[in-house]
Amino acid sequence: MRIEYSNKVIRTLTVKVTDKPGFLGKITTAIGECGGLIGEISTTHVGKGYKIRALDVYAEDENNLNEMLLALKNIEGSELVSVTDVVEENHMGGKIEIRPTVDINSLDDLRIVYTPGVASICHKIQQNPELARKFTTISNNVAIVTNGTAVLGLGDIGAVAGMPVMEGKGMLFKILADINGIPILLDTKDPEEIINTIKHIAPTFGAIKLEDIKAPECFEIEEKLDAMLDIPVLHDDQHGTAVVVLAALINIAKYTFLNLRESSVGIIGLGAAGTGIMKLLKAYGVKTFNGVDLDVSAMERFESLGGTRKDLRGVVSESRIVIATTGCPNLITPDMIQEGQVILALSNPNPEIDPDLAVKSGAIFAADGKSVNNALAFPGLFKGALISNARTINDQMKIAAAKAIASFALDGDLVPNILDKNVHNAVAKEVETAAYRSGSARYTEE
């Protein structure tokens, strides 16, 4: 299944607009007619008879952007003042940093937090290593580890090129869960080198988040490290995505009166995301899985997990719920859709079938990948694991996270607002509870 990579262009257009009814509408209409999308619109200056507006626009590529700019220049009563690459602006110098949590205003302050005062803390930890949770950041540090072999929709671009994504994950960890997410870039594709490297740096962290490592290597790396280390190791491309998909399906089942556990599930694309989704749905209680992938080893792995091999049409025709994670737009054609199906075409930016088209073709419910973002899951999932001092993040904890996410969705929505901190706090609390109930948590003395 061919993967098409996204090169979306985002720019902020500063436009001088005549302050009369209809003039701003002419601008937004022109952008829409060129196929562009509009994000935030703000007023940056009010003058006599005009306003300066800043519009965030999304274009398919540079040619599409130039088409929009030409259209705007031809609109009477407006003047294009500037075009700003807002993405580059916000990445200048990176997106994260390390800050001290104590003030140092004198030499006495320094002696307390560094030498000679620090020696007594070092001795305490030497005598009782568990005290590191109390006196250091270790229990709130998560390593975000990548070798850059499967970055977003960009593929194997290397670890350094993937650093902006890792910084983004670190930023979300801090903003949404107050966790120190620390990017670790590994310049190797050898699974054993990756495993050994992470093993040796693990004492710095309370958990390991594997990120953007391609299948099938990601499965071996996660499995071996999770067995080897006494802290959680989780490959987010598998399990973070799976948690949010399960949350969405819980709400779809509620809205459509579908019995999720008794429904047959078809998975198109059995890489990291597809396999993670299948594993978690099976843990939730779903019994019947049909699957397809061009990769023979992926199909064999799917069958070993209890799935049934089908071709593409067979998966769609014999499954009540169809989940596609291929990266191949328009792979599912309208004639394949069965009456009353649920279709989740999750590839971004272009899904395997447009949700509106799927519904017109008979689906009872359809959605694309815009709302199924694993950032809804991983901050709270890891926070709950860290608070409970969990040894691993097990299926009970993932299911608890999914249920918590689902419960915050507004009526009719699949999932809640990704920036709602209440959601992430609730996920953390439910994951912590599940960790204790399932035996993954460890009680520690304060």
Quick: pLDDT tens for 98-142.
999 999 999 999 999 999 999 999 999 999 999 999 999 999 999
Q: Is the pLDDT of residue 446 over 90?
A: no
Q: What is the mean pLDDT of the chain?
A: 94
Contact present, 230 and 206 (Cβ < 8 Å):
no
Instruction: Report the 3 state secondary structure along 325-351.
Output: CCCCCCCCCHHHCCCCCEEEECCCCCC
CB atoms closer than 10 angstroms to residue 391: 17
Asked if pLDDT for residue 323 goes beyond 70, the answer is yes
Per-residue pLDDT at 5 exceeds 70? no
Closest C-alpha among 243, 203, 184, 213 to residue 379: 243
Q: Is 55's pLDDT higher than 50?
A: yes
The pLDDT-based confidence of 95 (bands split at 50, 70, 90) is very high
Give pLDDT, residue 350.
85
pLDDT value at position 412? 85
Q: What's the CA gap between 1 and 312, in Å, rounded?
A: 10
Is 139:389 a contact under the CB 8 Å cutoff?
Answer: yes
Mean pLDDT of 351-377: 93
- Per-residue pLDDT reduced to its tens digit, 378-398: 999 999 999 999 999 999 999
CA 123 to chain centre: 40
Which pLDDT score is estimated for 349?
76
Residue that wins the pLDDT comparison between 224 and 348: 224
Q: Could you report the per-residue pLDDT of 274-319, keeping only the tens digit for each?
A: 999 999 999 999 999 999 999 999 999 999 999 999 999 999 999 9
Instruction: Specify the residue for token string 């996410």.
Output: 405
Q: Which of the 8 DSSP states describes residue 155?
A: B
Distance, CA of 229 to CA of 208 (rounded, Å): 10
Tell me what pLDDT residue 4 has.
35
Is-contact 164 171, C-beta < 8 A? Answer: no
Q: Please state the length of the chain.
A: 446
Name all domains of the chain by residue range, CATH numbers in brackets: 9-91 (3.30.70.260), 107-231 (3.40.50.10380), 232-446 (3.40.50.720)
Element (H, E) at 222: helix 217-228
- Name the pTM for this structure: 0.91
Predicted confidence band of residue 91 (pLDDT cuts 50, 70, 90): very high
Residue 370 binned pLDDT confidence (cut-offs 50, 70, 90): confident
* Cα torsion 104, 106, 107, 111: sign: negative
Report the distance separating Cα 376 and Cα 100, nearest Å. 28
Q: Which long-range contacts (CB under 8 A, 24 or more apart) does 188-195 make?
A: 188/147, 189/147, 189/149, 189/217, 191/217, 191/220, 191/221, 194/145, 194/147, 194/221, 195/221, 195/224, 195/225, 195/228
For the stretch 159-183, pLDDT in tens is 999 999 999 999 999 999 999 999 9
- State the DSSP string of 347-376: -SSS-SS-HHHHHHTT-SEEEETTS--GGG
Write down the pLDDT at residue 7: 60
What per-residue confidence (pLDDT) applies to 372? Answer: 83
Cα separation, 211 vs 240, in Å, equals: 10
200-221 pLDDT tens trace: 999 999 999 999 999 999 999 9
Nearest to 283 by CA among 399, 393, 376, 183: 399
The pLDDT score that the predictor gives to residue 443 is 80
The mean pLDDT of 62-76, rounded to a whole number, is: 94
Active site (catalytic) residues:
114, 169
Spatial neighbors of 233 by CB under 8 A, at least 6 apart, are 198, 207, 208, 210, 222, 225, 226, 392
Label residue 158 by pLDDT band (50, 70, 90): very high
Residues 6+ positions from 166 with CB-CB distance below 8 Å: 144, 146, 183, 185, 211, 212
